[in-house]
Structure 1
Amino acid sequence: MFVSSKSRAQAALIATSVLLSASSSSFVHASPSEPLNRRATTCNGSPDLCNRSFGNVTFVGAHDSYAVGINNLAANQDYNITQQLNDGIRMLQMQAHNLNGVIQLCHTSCSLYNGGPLSTYLGTVKTWLDANPNEVLSLLIVNSDDLPPTEYDTVFKGAGLDTMSYAPPSASIPATQWPTLGSLIDSGKRLLTFMDASADFTSVPYIIDEFTNIWESPYDVTTTFDCSVNRTKGDSTTEMYLINHFLDTLILGQPAPDPSQANQTNAVSGTNSLGAQFELCASQYGRNPNFMLVDFYEYGGGSVFEVAATANGVTYSPTTPIATPIPQGGSSTTGSGTAGSGTPSPNSAVSMTTRWTTVWVLFSSAMLGAWYVV
């Protein structure tokens, strides 16, 4: 069919206009490896998030996600990570230690709380990711003993997570330049792992340095939450940011998780609530927090996820109810490797002997100046 020169010129003009419009879009451009044809139509539970940059989404994180149990002063969660992920947690924070050459998830000390080997934990993460192909997940590793990232790389490869891990194009990226959730899902690189110390982009690029990419608000709060920049190694005006929103109580003068206040701490609104800290930080910095770390996430009946949904401009409407709090004195999964187990089936409650052993370890740690909790 003959096409006139005028028609060809009009077509070229339209094409140029489309390209110019695309280049001025507010969405962050995906990495060069992003497939040209988008396949993901639902991302982290909503089609509205597929075109959203990872750096422009608010995620709920489980603080010390592996520290599962009740009647234990070192426990931060009631349910194991499979249940946490099923309910909507999308950042799993953990504290890793070197225990006789094995990377172990322990709270301050492996004698205080031992959540099992990282290898078991990551195996559970891999199983969940395989079963949920439209989800983007983050890990945040507190590298307590400054182990080199190559040692973590070995464990990630053993779990099959290295091939699912996103490696950024450089060691640090401004919040506005992260790929979209849709592109991460399309590429199969749906796991983003951040490490607080000793990350090395040149040796293991998918283990991302936290503090040149994310700044954090204060932790171990026992009174009122604020939004001050507590830890960073980069430019806090351009980095993503994380608010630590877990309330502690003082035991022998040292901070320990406080489930008694968790309903209000995790609430959508009210004094010292997650919603109140979120609004304060968003107002103060002109942009939403990217990550909100909480203890006992299920307290509040899903309120922590409602705060995130509102921040992301989507509706929080879970298809099934989330887990319910387990009262102290009841039964739940506990330490010694159960944090990553595939089902939340309860074990017997921690005995009073274990509870007082925990108190004694806290006391000894405080006296030796070895206490720290993050």
Structure 2
Amino acid sequence: MGPLGNIPLVIISVLLSVTAIIDACSNGGCKQLLEECSSTADCAAGLLCGSCPTRFDNERCIRSTFTNQFKLLNNSLPFNKYAYLTTHNSFAINGEPSHTGIPRLALPNQEDSITQQLNDGVRALMLDTYDFEDDIWLCHSFEGECNDFTAFSPAIDTLKEVEAFLAANPSELVTLILEDYVESPKGLTKVFNASGLMKYWFPVSNMPQNGQDWPLVKDMVANNQRFIVFTSERKKQESEGIAYQWNYMVENMYGDDGMNSGSCPNRVESAALNDKTKSLVLVNYFKSVPIMQSSCEDNSPELLNMLQTCYEAAGNRWANFVAVDFYKRSDGRGAFQAVDKLNGKLLCGCDDVNACAVRCLLLNLIAVCNTYIIDTSMVHMSKSKEKHLFSIFLAAWIVDNVQSIGTNTEF
């Protein structure tokens, strides 16, 4: 039997998987990243047909899906060792009908439903909670009051979408970051109970103090504590067991003041970004006034540059959360690539999380090769050398081809 017959099945499996990825559009029928298109059906898997008038003429295929770092690698590290795509004002959805009968004046920040956001890889939602009409509502308002013309929807509707996602995806986590104006006694607790989310609740008692690491994601999953909630109201931590955001997280300035090149100031409510007694870092990158058509400019290389700036401002710590408007709009790879970069930096020091997977693959191949060279009791030495050379050739082929795939494919 030749060397192929004795190559471990794991190597053959990887080889076939990579070949399938490469061949998926080899017939020339799929448009690749930044190629012109007329509809999303023209684009390869993981891409959509989008526009960015200030960056390119005509519509082009741009990235539309995320890389699941847990499936790509594993979930064996602490929660604060990963990065999560975050939507600013997740509830402020373009086209959401009025629930009050009064035309809404508040501008939208997103264009996809909560369910779609989660399916696309968003893992943290920024919600503004208010007392309104004897219930808890999500509003984009001012002076701490929700009005008919600033209300978007009852909070229960959004929370039920989150519950359905967690029920259908037992290995996933979702974080809520609440700008909290609720004053009714136990108002948030009541709506969380009504939504069915309490069975996934991650308790404050398990959150780290003084900048220590969070529990391992795999343990959070095993314990079904997959729903993490932060509130902007200090008193809620004691009265309702909802984590006070600023005890655990630092955050840069939001809006236009947080988008100046080379500068990453902290939000007023936040401790200094380099305060390492807080183990989570949130980076905002969105304009004060959301404009859907031009948001592609923001979810662009400038976002990657800001992540580097904020890394330095945070004491050489990469962000865990990156919050954007209209997350699927970009001039190419967009917010999805930003999160891939963060996870790459956090997990293996690379510029892309997919490179971490290649690195792991190479380490496994080297281990296999060493095993064959050392263990001569199973096969004749000449066969061992033959397989060793074949494995090295195979490793080189995989690296060359995986790198050619680009960063728009999850594998």
Is 2:81 the counterpart of 1:81? Answer: no
Distance in 1 of aligned mates of 2:164 and 2:126:
18
Q: Which residue of 1 aligns with 2:53?
A: none
**Equivalent in 330, 335, 340 of residue 309 of structure 1:** 340
The Cα shift of 1:147 comes to 4.5
**How much does 1:241 deviate?**
1.9
Change (3 A) 1:198 1:287: closer
Which of 190, 201, 215 pairs up with 2:250? 215
* Offset of residue 105 of structure 1: 0.5
Aligned pair count? 266
Distance 2:210 2:149 in 1: 38
Give the aligned residue type for 1:282: Y
Q: Give the match for residue 276 of structure 2.
A: 237
The runs of 4+ residues in structure 1 deviating greater than 6 Å are none
- 1:294 corresponds to which of 324, 328, 350: 324
Which residue in the other structure is 2:191 paired with?
Answer: 155
Moved more, 52-61 or 309-318: 309-318
RMSD across aligned C-alpha pairs, in angstroms? 2.6
Matched to 1:238, the amino acid is T
Deviation at 1:247, TM superposition (A): 1.6
**C-alpha distance 243-217 of structure 1, shift in aligned 2 (>3 A):** same
Query: For residues 237 and 244 of structure 1, do their structure 2 counterparts lie closer, same or farther at Cα, with a shift above 3 Å needed?
Result: same
Q: Which residue of 2 aligns with 1:65?
A: 90
Change (3 A) 1:196 1:147: farther
Residue type of the partner of 1:276? N
Q: 1:237 to 1:143 in 2, by over 3 A?
A: same
2:170 matched to which residue of 1? 133
Q: Secondary structure at the match of 2:150?
A: strand
For each residue in 1:233-269, what CA deviation from the matched residue of structure 2 results, as whole angstroms up to 9, or x when unmatched? 6573321221111123xxxxxxx212233112111x2
TM-score normalised by structure 1 residue count? 0.65
Equivalences for residues 77-156 of structure 1 within 5 A = 77-108=110-141, 109-148=146-185, 150-156=186-192
Q: Is the 8 A contact 2:131 2:183 kept in 1?
A: no
Can you give the 5+ residue segments of structure 2 that lack an aligned partner in the other structure? 1-66, 96-103, 345-352, 355-406
Secondary structure at the counterpart of residue 203 of structure 1 = helix
CA distance change for structure 1 residues 265 and 43 in 2, over 3 Å: closer, same or farther? closer
Residue 187 (structure 1) aligned with residue 223 (structure 2): yes
C-alpha distance after superposition, 1:310-352 (max 9, x if no partner) = 21122255569xxxxxxxxxxxxxxxxxxxxxxxxxxxxxxxx
Q: Specify the code of the residue in structure 1 equivalent to 2:239.
A: S
Report the equivalent of 2:292.
Answer: 259
- Structure-2 residue corresponding to 1:52: 77
Superposed counterparts of 1:278-293, under 5 Å: 278-284=307-313, 285-293=315-323
Q: Distance in 1 between matches of 2:192 and 2:182?
A: 18
Match of 2:305 among 252, 276, 279: 276
Higher relative CO (CA 8 A, sep ≥ 6), structure 1 or 2? 1
Aligned twin of 1:346: none
User: Secondary structure in 2 aligned to 1:229?
Assistant: coil
Partner in structure 2 of residue 3 of structure 1: none
| Local SS of the residue matching 2:236 | coil
Matched-pair identity in %: 24
Asked if the contact 2:333/2:408 (under 8 Å) is kept, the reply is: no
Letter in 1 for 2:343: N
Tell me if 1:197 matches 2:227.
no
**Please, which runs of 5 or more residues in structure 1 have no aligned partner?**
1-41, 249-255, 321-374
Secondary structure of 1:125's aligned partner = helix
Aligned-residue offset at 1:48? 2.7
Closer/same/farther in 2, CA of residues 294 and 214 from structure 1, 3 Å limit: same
Once the two structures are TM-superposed, the CA of residue 199 in structure 1 deviates from its matched residue by 4.4
For 2:106 and 2:135, the matched residues in 1 are separated by 24
Confirm or deny: 8 A CA contact 1:60 1:308 kept in the other structure. Answer: yes
Q: Secondary structure at the match of 1:134?
A: coil
Give me the TM-score of the superposition, normalised by structure 2: 0.60
Structure richer in helix, relative to its length: 2
Q: CA deviation at 1:55?
A: 1.4
Query: 1:97-118 CA distances to partner (integer Å, 9 max, x unpaired)?
Result: 1112210001114333322111
Provide the residue aligned with 1:359 in structure 2: none
> Contact (CA 8 Å) 1:55, 1:175: kept in 2 or not?
no
1:246 aligned onto 2:271: no
Could you list the per-position Cα deviations for residues 288-317 of structure 1 after superposition, in whole angstroms to 9, with x for gaps in the alignment? 011111000010255212111121122255
- C-alpha distance in 1 between matches for 2:264 and 2:114: 28
Q: Deviations over 1:150-193 (max 9, x none)?
A: 22111111111111010132676344321121111111000100
- The answer for the alignment partner of 2:58 in structure 1 is none
In 2, the alpha carbon distance for the partners of 1:169 and 1:276 equals 36
1:23-74 Cα deviation digits (max 9, x unpaired)? xxxxxxxxxxxxxxxxxxx975435341221112111110000000159751
Instruction: Give 1 or 2 for the bigger CA radius of gyration.
Output: 2
* Distance in 2 (alpha carbons) for counterparts of 1:139 and 1:59: 12
